[in-house]
Amino acid sequence: MAQGVWIIAEQRDGALRKVSFEIASTARRLADELGTEVSAVLMGSGIEGIAPELGKYGVDRIFVADDAALETYTTDAYAAAAAHVVREKEPAILLLAASVQGKDLSSRLVGKLATGMATDCVEVNITDGHLVAKRPMYAGKCYGEIVVSGSPQMASLRPNVFPAVENQKAGEVVKFDAALKAEELKTKVLEVQKDESGAVDLTEAEIIVSGGRGMKGPENYPIIEELAQVLGATVGASRASVDAGWRPQSDQVGQTGKVVSPNLYIACGISGQIQHIAGMQDSSIIISINSDPNAPINAIADYVITGEVEKVIPKMIKYYKKNTK
């Protein structure tokens, strides 16, 4: 019989990502309610040494596939390796991150395992022994509760929403053979072009400074970048700025961009159309800087600064520089 709460942990360049600790801690909570154990799958090359860290967040057993074919993430290799161990051990629940990688991997994995999945969840609980996952629907206009009838019950969890709780436990590391067959490896990574800014990925960022059409043009973006740098934030954008070619598509927040949930979201010259709001409304604190006091985004903002971005942002930079040395 299927049992145990499992997670697929995420690492990049040999370091576990914060979201892995968030899903590990959530898995621990669910497992305690079910009276069962937490296991993690960790895949990569040369990553065995980082596996015990997951134990601190409540993982009892970490299944590690340390294989040269898993050095760089590919959907084929990671989904095949994960499916192999999940089929063999039959967990009852399988959680992944709703990160860029997690979304890609989970959609292939759910097909391979022929089960169902609730995506981008903001709450997960156990009711009558089943996983009940809450997720936004219709571009965030309402929330739905999903119960997966297949096995394992899969869910992807939105980064920055679930707390990472250290409980100081040590996890047992178990190696598993990824057993990758040549026909399963259809993708070959030729080159990885890294973002040299060193900024945290938008989906995991704790602070985001986002610019919209009110920035007027790319020549005004250095002030957004400077504010982000001073605050240790990641730069985001509305679709209007992306469509105008001022920012890359990877910066877009919203229904057709990234869904973010930072502690602080600063919207600079963004009107707050429903498609943008769908991507950032779960931010803990929202600051809107807009010349229009009636901009729709002000209705969901915690703080509103009515003024022109060209004047307000340099003042903020000056203030933070002076007060955060």
- CA torsion 263-269-274-275 (nearest 10°) is -80
Among 96, 173, 309, 313, binds ligand FAD (CB under 6 A): 309
Sign of the dihedral through C-alpha 254, 256, 261, 266: negative
3-state secondary structure 28-90: HHHHHHHCCCEEEEEEECCCHHHHHHHHHHCCCEEEEEECHHHCCCCHHHHHHHHHHHHHHHC
Question: Between residues 31 and 297, which has the closer beta carbon with respect to ligand FAD?
Answer: 297
Question: Between residues 99 and 271, which has the closer beta carbon with respect to ligand FAD?
Answer: 271
Integer-rounded Cα Rg, in Å, for the chain is 21
Per the listing, tokens 């026909």 go with 183
* Per-position x/- string for 221-260, each x denoting binding to ligand FAD as judged by CB under 6 A, each - no binding: -----------------xxxx----------xxxxxx---
Question: Between residues 165 and 244, which has the closer beta carbon with respect to ligand FAD?
Answer: 244
Question: Between residues 124 and 270, which has the closer beta carbon with respect to ligand FAD?
Answer: 270
Q: Contact between 212 and ligand FAD (CB under 6 A)?
A: yes
Q: Contact between 203 and ligand FAD (CB under 6 A)?
A: no
* Per-position x/- string for 7-46, each x denoting binding to ligand FAD as judged by CB under 6 A, each - no binding: ----------------------------------------
Which residue sits closest to ligand FAD, CB atoms considered? 254
The residue type found at 24 is A
Among 18, 76, 275, 317, binds ligand FAD (CB under 6 A): 275
Among 7, 86, 270, 286, binds ligand FAD (CB under 6 A): 270
Closest distance to ligand FAD from the beta carbon of 244 (Å): 9
Among 4, 91, 102, 269, binds ligand FAD (CB under 6 A): 269
Contact 29/124 with Cβ under 8 angstroms?
Answer: no
Query: Residue 319 CB: number of other CB atoms within 10 A?
Result: 11
Stretch that binds ligand FAD, among 5-13, 33-41, 72-80, 283-291 (CB under 6 A): 283-291
Three-state DSSP state, 210: strand
Stretch that binds ligand FAD, among 84-92, 102-110, 227-235, 269-277 (CB under 6 A): 269-277
Question: Between residues 231 and 270, which has the closer beta carbon with respect to ligand FAD?
Answer: 270
Per the listing, tokens 């009110």 go with 214
Sign of the dihedral through C-alpha 263, 235, 233, 311: negative
Closest distance to ligand FAD from the beta carbon of 324 (Å): 24
Among 125, 292, 302, 314, binds ligand FAD (CB under 6 A): 292
3-state secondary structure 108-156: HHHHHCCCCEEEEECEEEEECCEEEEEEEECCCCEEEEEECCCCCEEEE
Contact 54/20 with Cβ under 8 angstroms?
Answer: yes
- The site for ligand FAD (CB under 6 A) is made up of 212-214, 238-241, 252-257, 269-271, 273, 275-276, 279, 289-292, 295, 308-310
